[in-house]
Structure formats: structure tokens, C-alpha cells
Structure 1
């Protein structure tokens, strides 16, 4: 009956269900409570058969019916957030007073109303309070028959009270535990979505801003020497900026999907603008379709780092069925800390069961005049590279 706390963060991230979707248990839990009202037939029967004036019998029947209505109203109130414990205590107090008021007419039969109070407390109150009420009810079940000298009914109440109370307390505890698990899962989903958005935004903006910076610097150098070329570079800057804005919007909406062919074309554009030459070995068609999206992100991140940090003249991209390598002939990565971009790439690849390695390239990489350079390798499976071809793009 206790509704788990809602998580407004999930709504902000678009990861939680609509606030209008209500758990059926919360909406209709009171109906389950109403089923057990059939057992009020026993105290009602005692009231009908009581050897008292008709007016007192009618009044007692009205008290029992009122008890039933308060019982149902209490369950309904517990289902309505926030439903404070203080208000639930008030419902229990009213039910207790109504049950007590029936004692002059139906006597010990009034003890038949106590299980309804135990079920209500078991579902609506904290476990400790429900157990305290169960203990008090057990004492009442012993003391009342002893005082009335009707010990024949003692066994019934000693059996039914713990059965009802403990069963409902257990159900409530399990329901609360399930609610906490749902909340934890929701928070985990929100966290994963945040990481996805942060990773995608970094990859999109990092690449686009790097290219924009390179082309802006080139246009600045060309503005006096070759104004037309400078205008063309600035036109590309405008186009890239618009594309980056569209990609950011798509990323936030969860629709951004990198395409390997597009990333290779963007890599050529970025490297050319930075005065570097690109060699592509292999073809996107050779890559397993299952791996193309991940490898496309790897191309984007690797080329961004080459443009930013390498100072290289040549960049080689080698594609295989389930792997990728990006090698440059620049200054290398010795003594440099791994950045957030590579960390995000590792997360993407490891989610697909692959691995990422980053280190010095082989001596003489590329043109061979700049030292060992840097080698980034992404592996997503055990198949060997197939059908590698070489396409050289001159700058």
C-alpha cells in the first residue's frame, strides 16, 4: 500500500514513466481490503440476535457499518500521496472507538473487529508500530475472555490475530522492498542516461569545436592572402556549427547515431583543414554491421585527438571486420594523462564486449620522420581483418 517515493530527476531526464501512470495496486488496493469485509457478518449477526431493544441493535449495526466505511476510507487515504502516518493513526483511533462502542450489545463478538484494525495497521503503518499494535491485540485477546469468563473463544482469537497481523506486515514489508528496488533501478537508469548524454555531448562538441577552431585559424591566415578561400573556410565553419547544433539536439533526445562512412568523411575534412594527410585502409562495408556505430564513435574521438594533440603529418585509419586502428606520426602520448574522451570511448567499447588500447605507434609510423607517434586500437571480436585496401587522400 505504501507508494515508493517519486523521482523528479527521472522526469527531468525523460527516463521515468509519466506522472499520470499510477500503479494499479495504489489505485485499487482498497478493493482488496473490501473483500475481507464479508467477515463482518459475524459481529453483524451478533448485533441482530442480541437480546436488547431494537433501537440498540439498530445503533450497533450502524456502528459496525460505520466501522467498515472508516476502514475502507483509511485504506483509500493511505493510497493518496502523501498520506501521513498521523492521519492513519486517526483512522485507527476512530475504528477502535467504534469497536469499543459495540461492546455493550455484542460483547466479546466485538473482538471480531480487531483483525480489520490489524490488517490496516500492517499495510499502512511502519513495521514497528504494526507489531506493537499486534502485541496489544494479543493481550486484549487473552484478558477480555478471562474477564468475561468465556475461555472457549480464546483459542480462536489467539490464532486469527497473529495470522492476520503478521501476514499483512510481511506483505507490506515485501511491497516496500519492491518499491525501493524500483526506485534504485530508476536511479540507475537515470545515471546511465546522464552518462550517455555526457559522453555523446563530449564526442559531438569535442570534434566539431576542434574542426571549427582549425578552420577559423586557417581563415584568419588566409583573409589577406586569399579572401575567397577564407570565405569558403568560414562558410564551412558555419555549416559545421549548424550540424553540431542539430547533433546536440538529437543527442539530448536520444536519437544521435554515428555512421562510419560519415565519420570517415568528417575525419578527412578535419585532418585536411589541419594540414594533415589521411590514409584509410579497409572499407566501411567490410566492418560487421553490429560494430559500425561503435567504431564510428571511435574514429570521431581518435581523429579529434590527432588534430588537437599530435602535431602529425599523417594519420592512418585501418578498418577490419571487428576492429579499428588509428595511427599517427606525431609527438606521441608519453607522459600524458588519458582524457575524458578516451575514457568515454572505453565505456562504449566495453559495453559491447571489446577493448581499447592506446600507446606509442611502431617506430617509423606513417612517413617515418616524426618518431613513434600514437596508436589507438579498438577490438570488438576475434575475427581477423579481411580484405584491407588502401585509399590515400592528399591534402
Structure 2
């Protein structure tokens, strides 16, 4: 992982930017093997090696220059490989600075032997600096290298013969800078995409937990109050209500575990049964559809979630005596004769099902109901159309 991607990761994601052993196998192949692409360009070191072979110098001097070029190549590759194994931006910068100083010191030997022809090594210095240092430091090193490459032939009086070194180093600078910027933007995009996925997953879990617990706790509360009233007058029925409460708590616990694991799926037939239990347990007269199969199979899960939240609100907030549930192929209507919405703001439950319906391209309308004559209040009507 280069300094660029590590800097972006550290800026966007919380916690350390290091790659642990557990997730090393999941790393981007480019991060693991990108150094190989940098090593391919070492073939161009054949030109200074050719110059060493042709220069008029003693054998030991030529051998020292050739050895220096080979060591230069080895240090360059080792630096690229080691850069990807650093644990953070600061560590990468320190490591790359040491390697860069070592490369420059090694380059002095072939420069002393072949002179201006050693300027080809500057391209590798610029490339390594651009990927290993901070952007500001890399720009400074690259500008200095470009200046040295442009002025050295002029001072040596061979500008017409060696002008192409300036062009080569300039092209390397431009291309590596473009790759650096694109890598930073790509790393930033990936980090933001992971952040968005994390936020979406958190919202899903929060919405599902609210839907599961809100309904289950409402029914448990209603049944516990009923059992408390019946415990002296009708112990047998009170015991039955307590058995239902125990069953509901176990079901709620299983649903919460499934929700956290991302496995929770609401079933329309089960929600209709649960709605009947909740409404009758709260003392409401309820008209429910007999056949859940009338709903389009594509929409049953979503309609089940909406039904759960709507019935929970009827039991918890409406104060109604009567509730009617109408189920169509692509619609669901839950109407009660309770106190109505009044000035109450939309809660998390309605907001959650509104998000679910909108994500499916449907429409949710919540307004006053017109259920029965003589209703105590204006009532509430929740209608979903898909």
C-alpha cells in the first residue's frame, strides 16, 4: 500500500491504517503486487550499464560502477516491496526517505564513472519519491531532480546531446503524479463507499430492531396488563396469557438475533396472525383478510413489515375500538377509529417503513380514517401502494 492510499485511508476511516494478518488475504492484488510493475522499468538500467562497459576506465572502476547500478536496482525493488509492508503513512514516509537517500548515495558511483549518462537514474528517484513520500515532499524532490537533469548537460556542455534526459524525467514526473492523484481519489472513493455501506447497515439494523422490538414489547405489555387483571378472577386464562408472554419473549429474542445477523425476514401470514393476537389482546375488534396469498409475492415481505408497524401503532397509540386491515395485490390499508394523528410528529417506526416503501418505489400515505359511524375520533388510515 503506497503512502497515497495510506494517507487517504487514515483521513477517512477511524482507527489505524495498518493491514492485519487476518485481512491480508483480502487486500487488493495491486497493493500486494504493484511493486512488480515498478520493477519492470529496471530494464532501462541496461543503458547506463552499457555506458559503463564502453567507458574508458580501469577494470576495477568499471566493475564498481556496474555493481553500484545493480545494487541501485536491488534497493529500488526492495524499497517498493517494503513500502507496501509499512504500518501507516508516517512509517511509509520515514522508510521511503531512508531508501531515497540510499539510492542517491549509490547513484554517485556510476555518475562519477559515466558522468552525464547517469542522469537516467533520476527517473527512478522521481518515481520512488512520488509513491513513497508525502505529496509535498515528493513534489520538492521531483522538482529538484528535474532541475539537476536539465542543468547538468548545460554545465557539461552537452545539452544538445543529452536533452532527452530532461524529457524522460519530466514524463516520469507527470505520469507518476497522475497515478498518485488517481490512486488517492480511488482510495478515497473506496473508503467513502465502505463508510456509506456501514451507515446503511446500521440504519437497516436500527430499523429492523425497532420494528421487531416495538411490536413484540407492545404485545407483551398488553398481555401482561391483561394477565394482571385476570390473575384473581380467571387464573386459568391469566396462566394462558403468561404462557403467550413467554412464547413472545422467546420469539422476540430469536428475531433480534436474526436481525443482527442480517437474516430477519418478515412473513405476511405470520404477521397477520400476530396482528390478530395483538389486536384482540388489546380488546380491539379486528377485521383481517383471510387469505395472505392475495398479495403479490414480490411485495409480501415489505407489506409484512408495514403491517407490523401499523398494528403496533394502533395498539400502542390510537386508543381505538375497531381496526380494519385490507390487503390487495399491491396494497395494504390499515384503518382504525381511534383518536387520530393530531399534532403528533412522525416517529421512527413510520419513518422506517416510509424509507422501506420509498426504496421499493412505492407510496405511503398516512392520514385521517373514516372507518365506522360514531367513531370516538377521526381515526387513522395507513395506506401503502406498490
Normalising by structure 1, report the TM-score: 0.90
Structure 1 equivalent of residue 358 of structure 2: 350
More helix by share: 2
From the superposition, tell whether residues 75 and 255 of structure 1 become closer, same or farther in structure 2 (CA, over 3 Å).
same
Structure 2 equivalent of residue 375 of structure 1: 381
- In structure 2, stretches of 5+ residues that fail to align are 16-21
With 370-379 and 255-264 compared, the bigger mean Cα shift is at 370-379
Partners in 2 of 1:18 and 1:199 — Cα distance?
Answer: 30
Aligned residue for 1:357, secondary structure, equals strand
Does the CA contact (< 8 Å) of 1:314 and 1:367 recur in 2?
A: no
Structure 2 equivalent of residue 324 of structure 1: 332
Matches within 5 A, 1:1-395: 1=2, 2-4=4-6, 5=9, 18=23, 20-80=25-85, 81-82=87-88, 83-281=91-289, 283-362=291-370, 365-366=371-372, 368-380=374-386
Partners in 2 of 1:218 and 1:284 — Cα distance?
Answer: 29
Aligned residue for 2:382, secondary structure, equals strand
> Per-residue deviation at 1:367?
5.9
Does the CA contact (< 8 Å) of 2:38 and 2:80 recur in 1?
A: yes
Cα RMSD, aligned residues only:
1.8
With 282-291 and 94-103 compared, the bigger mean Cα shift is at 282-291
> Per-residue deviation at 1:351?
0.3
> Per-residue deviation at 1:19?
5.4
- In structure 1, stretches of 5+ residues that fail to align are 11-16, 381-395
> Per-residue deviation at 1:294?
0.8
From the superposition, tell whether residues 374 and 218 of structure 1 become closer, same or farther in structure 2 (CA, over 3 Å).
same
> Per-residue deviation at 1:231?
0.9
Aligned length: 372
Partners in 1 of 2:345 and 2:119 — Cα distance?
Answer: 74
Partners in 2 of 1:283 and 1:19 — Cα distance?
Answer: 52
> Per-residue deviation at 1:348?
0.5
Partners in 2 of 1:9 and 1:234 — Cα distance?
Answer: 47
> Per-residue deviation at 1:281?
4.1
Aligned residue for 2:26, secondary structure, equals coil
> Per-residue deviation at 1:9?
7.5
> Per-residue deviation at 1:313?
1.2
> Per-residue deviation at 1:371?
3.0
Aligned residue for 1:3, secondary structure, equals helix
Aligned residue for 1:337, secondary structure, equals coil
Partners in 2 of 1:284 and 1:102 — Cα distance?
Answer: 84
Does the CA contact (< 8 Å) of 1:282 and 1:319 recur in 2?
A: no
Aligned residue for 1:366, secondary structure, equals coil
Normalising by structure 2, report the TM-score: 0.92
CA deviation profile, 1:217-270 (whole Å, cap 9, x unmatched): 111111111111111111110000000000000000100000111000000001
Partners in 1 of 2:381 and 2:113 — Cα distance?
Answer: 92
Aligned residue for 1:223, secondary structure, equals helix
Does the CA contact (< 8 Å) of 2:338 and 2:375 recur in 1?
A: no
